[in-house]
Amino acid sequence: MNDEEIAGYFEDKLKDDDLSSAIAAIETLLECLQRDAAETLSGLIHNLKQAKEVLVTTDCLATTSVSSGSDLFLRFITLASLELDDFKEVKEILISRGKLFLQKVSTCRTKITHLGMPFIKDGCVILTHSYSRVVACVLKCAAESKKRFSVYVTESCPDKSGNFMAQLLQEYDIPVTVILDAASGYILDKVDVVLIGAEGVVENGGIINKIGSYQLALCANALNKPVYVLAESFKFVRFFPLNQQDLPNQFKYKASTLKKGANLSIEHPSVDYTPPSLISLLITDLGVLTPSAVSDELIKLYL
Amino acid sequence: MHWSRDELGDITIRRCFYVSEFAQEREQQDARFKKMDQFILDLKQEKFNGSYDLAYKVINHLRKLISQTRWAHAKELMGVIRKEGKQLVAAQPSEYVIGNMVRRVLKIVREEYVRLLGKSEEFANTESLHKMLTSAETEDEKYMKSLKELKTTVMEAVSEYIDEMDASIHNIAAQAIEHIHSNEVILTIGKSRTVEAFLKQAAKKRKFHVIVVEGAPLYHGHELAASLAAHNIETTIITDSAVFAMMSRVNKVIIGTHSVLANGGLKAVSGAHIVAQAAYQHAVPLIVLGAMFKLCLLHYSDIGGSEATFNRLASPHRVLDYYKAGSQDLCNVQVYCPTFDYVPPELVTLFISNIGGNAPSYMYRLLSEMYHPNDHEL
């Protein structure tokens, strides 16, 4: 598969709104694996790494999760290297394992919904930021189980994805109000719990999410409101930022912006980093974790 | 068909024999059910003396259950334990120790099964990214193999755990000498058997001063103060409202707890949050003593879907006695007497248990070692 085919396949998968960008990337890599013409394992790995580069430089909603999801898939390939002579057999096994991995990863959202449900209590007021599929899923389940709650969504400039989230929640019959990003401090008094998604979860338990999350978490902490992050485990990334400047440019800006060579000092970043001290709990498919448990999980995988 | 007289007589005797055997088994089963029903009734009526006593009774009950019921393989055993566990928890939902013991026994069963099969410990362990990538076996295939030695090993492991529980207060008290130094002022609230043993152990080698907050309206602090004074420890009793005023003179706050929640927060005696907040304000370290069986999988928010089971309301008579409360002026006043308090993990400095001292942020690790995440829901 050459670069254009990969990008094309990926963009095709992204058109399905319900699919997380990372899962679309993993499906693309699986397709690459199936169509690959390499004769050796290292050739295969080399081709997949190149495919990953193409994916990371394609425009999508969440570059961070694409990067972490692809890394996990490639890691899975290298862990599964078997000592068989026939390369075709090895490839068959890799493909079946890839399909199994994809299957497991697709069930993440249901597990998170199950774990996150008890945190939404009857009569509570929830504040969420921008558009997150996981948060929408959890809220949908809570509404279906007849819990009464109301939601405030920040508009989340510059792409105003908060409006899209509000539209989605209205379809589920949830009373929702869109507020300005600047009004989050004003509204926090009335709010019981802050629920946000994440594009990436970093090594110390902090998160990378749509710009404005850091601000929201700071205000919530100042007013003693709990902040719960809902994230799938394939978003865990081996990365340890110490401040906002440590985030790499490919996470902050769209791939097309970087390619154009625009002046980054006047471009607006699309994500920011929220340190773990501001997060109460991370609800993932591996369980409800405190931020300190995240590094433990990453160590278990990579060492 | 025609039966001869002899054959008829034979058949009747055989029938009587079968009936009596059947009746015997029925009687035995009935007696067992009666015992279990009695236990559940005891739970509902709160006939236990503190969390250690309850934990001990529950685990003995489960041990009897494992030895007396018939089961073919580990999965069936876990089903039996789970079913009984659900009944026990439903009988007394505010006591998390019951759920803890049931889950601990389930984890023991899983561990013993895996050990007997010869696989590594990690296999039975919790979910992880690593496991997601390397294992290919699905959950349903596990635990179905029938192993002869499973019953004995499980019973042994449960007995070992009971011994560990027995020694827990002693192990905690043994660490007292490292934490309490000469001429220190220690503050505590209410009456906790663990704290009492801890302070008495330290008093054998050190001289220090204890301030006991009385803990209205039950005034358990008075009993603790009397007990400590009898051991020649300098004790002072203060009212709950004097906590903030006295905190500047205190070196350490040592409290016991009813249970420890999954995020490191506490469900402690009413008044503990005030003490914790005052300690935080004065930068005084807060040390919490509690045995490992008090550690729960539950978070503060997910307690059965409602706050009703978190707190137990005691009789309001102690706050405002019935005679006064019934008078014309006070008949519209509502009086509450909650027994428990939630203390958030940020206010706790150290958590000392029978396995040593840990930070509240380390709770997740201890939890993953004690319980299996699939048992989170019984």
Does one domain contain both B131 and B247? no
B139 with B173, same domain? no
Most confident range (mean pLDDT) of A1-5, A95-99, B251-255 is B251-255
Long-range contacts of B82-86 (CB under 8 A, 24+ apart): B82/B106, B82/B375, B82/B378, B84/B36, B85/B378, B86/B378
- SS3 assignment, position A210: strand
B172-206 tens-digit pLDDT: 999 999 999 999 999 999 899 999 999 999 999 99
Most confident among A210-219, A247-256, B54-63 (mean pLDDT): A210-219
Substitution target in B125, B131, B133, B367 with the highest count of A β-carbons within 10 Å is: B133
Last residue of a domain, one of B131, B149, B166: B166
Residues B268 and B370 in one domain: yes
In a shared domain, residues B362 and B305: yes
CA dist A10 and A3 (Å) reads: 11
Check if A233 contacts B (Cβ < 8 Å). Answer: yes
- Of the two residues A2 and A80, the one the predictor is more confident about is A2
Together in a domain, B191 and B274: yes
Asked if residue A105 has pLDDT above 50, the reply is yes
Q: Are residues B350 and B324 in the same domain?
A: yes
Of A136-145, A163-172, B4-13, which range is least confident?
B4-13
Interface confidence, given as ipTM, is 0.79
End residue of a domain, out of B149, B166, B183 = B166
Tell whether B342 and B201 lie within a shared domain.
yes
Cα dihedral B356, B361, B367, B372, rounded to 10, equals -150
**A287–B contact, CB cutoff 8 A:** yes
Q: Are residues B137 and B227 in the same domain?
A: no
pLDDT for residue B20: 66
In the predicted model, what is the mean pLDDT of chain A? Answer: 87
- Under DSSP, the state recorded for B229 is H
B176 shares its domain with B320: yes
pLDDT value at residue B135:
55
A293-297, B302-306, B356-360, B364-368: the lowest-pLDDT one: B302-306
CB atoms B263 and A76 under 8 Å: no
Q: Which amino acid is at B204?
A: K
Determine the structural domain holding residue B16 and report its residue range. 5-166
Taking residues B271-280, report their average pLDDT: 95
Distance CA A22, CA A28 (A): 10
| Local confidence band at A262 (pLDDT 50, 70, 90 cut-offs) | confident
* High-pLDDT (> 90) share of chain A, %: 39
Number of domains in chain B: 2
Sign of the torsion formed by the C-alpha atoms of A234, A237, A243 and A244 = negative
Q: What global pTM score does this model have? A: 0.84
Chain A residues with CB under 8 Å of B375 CB are none
Residue B10: give its domain's CATH number: 1.20.120.420
Q: Domain check: are B203 and B329 in the same one?
A: yes
| pLDDT given at position B13 | 57
Which chain A residues touch B373 with a CB distance below 8 Å?
A: 287
Residues B218, B124, single domain; the answer is no
Residues B117 and B254 in one domain: no
In this structure, how many other beta carbons lie within 10 angstroms of the beta carbon of residue B229? 15
Residues of B within an 8 Å Cβ radius of A:
126-130, 132-134, 136, 262-264, 299, 301-303, 305-307, 361-365, 373, 376
Answer yes or no: do A119 and B299 touch at CB < 8 A. Answer: yes
CB of A238 less than 8 A from some CB of B: no
Domain end residue (candidates: B166, B189, B212):
B166
- Residues in chain A within 8 Å Cβ distance of B303: 118
Q: What is the CATH number of the domain that holds B239?
A: 3.40.50.10470
Q: Each residue of B111-140: pLDDT tens digit?
A: 888 888 776 555 545 455 566 655 545 454
| Cα distance from N-terminal residue to C-terminal residue, chain A | 32
SS3 assignment, position B13: helix
pLDDT band at residue B305 using 50, 70 and 90 as cut-offs: very low
pLDDT exceeds 90 at position A154: yes
Is A194 within 8 Å of A128 (Cβ atoms)? yes
